[in-house]
Amino acid sequence: MMKPRKVPLRTCIGCQEQKNKRELVRIVRTPEGKVEMDPSGKKAGRGTYICQKRSCLEAAAKGKRIERSLKHPVSPAVVQEIAAKLPEDDGDV
């Protein structure tokens, strides 16, 4: 009998909920110091996870949780760039 595979869980820095790693989007600070979205989840650098909702991104940016997680300042322009890649919230907030 085979052991069931362990499902990797990560915590969204916006809503603080634990979810399956595949349901979340990774934001990474590359070794060069650039902050960007990592759709593959495999880029080198320090990463943090967020739900695929703009409301979670806005909450994380407002509370400076992205900066704290990545240990690097994040400009509002970078947050807007990431928000443009996320789908619109469907009014469930």
Interval 20-57: pLDDT, tens = 999 999 999 999 999 999 988 899 999 999 999 999 99
Determine the average pLDDT of the residues in 55-84: 94
Rama region for 61: left / alpha / beta (φ>0; ψ in -120 to 50; rest): alpha
Q: How confident is the model at residue 93 (pLDDT cuts 50, 70, 90)?
A: very low
Conformational region of residue 45, where left means phi above 0, alpha means psi within -120 to 50, and beta covers everything else = left
Residue 90, pLDDT score: 60
pLDDT at site 1: 81
Half-sphere exposure of 22 (CA within 13 A, CB side): 1
